Amino acid sequence: MRDRGDLRNLADEDLAQVCSRRPINEEAWRELWRRFYPYVRGKVENLLAPFPALAQSQQDDIVQYAFLNIFQRLPHFDPRRSPLRAYLGIVVTSTVFDQMRVHKRDRLVPLEEISELGGRVMKGEFELDALFSITKTVIAQMEPRNQKVLQEFLEGEKPEAISGRLHISKDAIYATVYRFRRKLKAALSEAGLSVRNMQ
């Protein structure tokens, strides 16, 4: 395993390749988080700027979801196709759009405002130790079958592939992921942790 000093000297794309390997290299993920947290948070803030009420109430959660999605999708990153920063920007933008759709259904955001995001395409560091620990605890508390679903989902497998391999419907997979995110959010809240206040 590389030490922290070696990781800090890696180019972004090389660091992404280390983070994409399994089993997880937690030191590499800490370095990725340290390096790109300001960019990810800034991107979320930018996209939510037209919706101050939503930004105030949901911004921390959306940043968390963005990093979970980065964890899930990074194994699919191809440095020959785009720089890492551009790839992360796409993942973050997709996360914000997904969350906006959720809140649109809850009538927190007027329908006509969603289209304004189309034309809108950096502080702090999240302590990864706590996130890894709490995430592992939440997963361990779920049923063994759901643990397998989450393991594959968080490693970047598509729901279609998981469905075929585990003989479980895509709806059941999405429901498991939804319950996991709800439980993770509650566990972070109970621990008094958020993206904003973790040092």
3-state secondary structure the chain: CCCHHHHHCCCHHHHHHHHHCCCCCHHHHHHHHHHHHHHHHHHHHHHHCCCHHHHHHHHHHHHHHHHHHHHHHHHHCCCCCCCHHHHHHHHHHHHHHHHHHHHHHCCCCCHHHHHHHHHCCCCCCCCHHHHHHHHHHHHHCCCHHHHHHHHHHHCCCCHHHHHHHHCCCHHHHHHHHHHHHHHHHHHHHHCCCCCCCCC
pTM: 0.55
* pLDDT score recorded for residue 177: 85
* pLDDT score recorded for residue 131: 63
127-199 placed in CATH 1.10.10.10: yes
> In the chain, which residues have pLDDT < 70?
1-5, 53-55, 101-132, 155-156, 191-199
149-158 confidence digits (pLDDT tens): 888 877 667 8
Which residues belong to CATH 1.10.10.10 in the chain? 127-199
* pLDDT score recorded for residue 5: 60
* pLDDT score recorded for residue 139: 84
* pLDDT score recorded for residue 3: 56
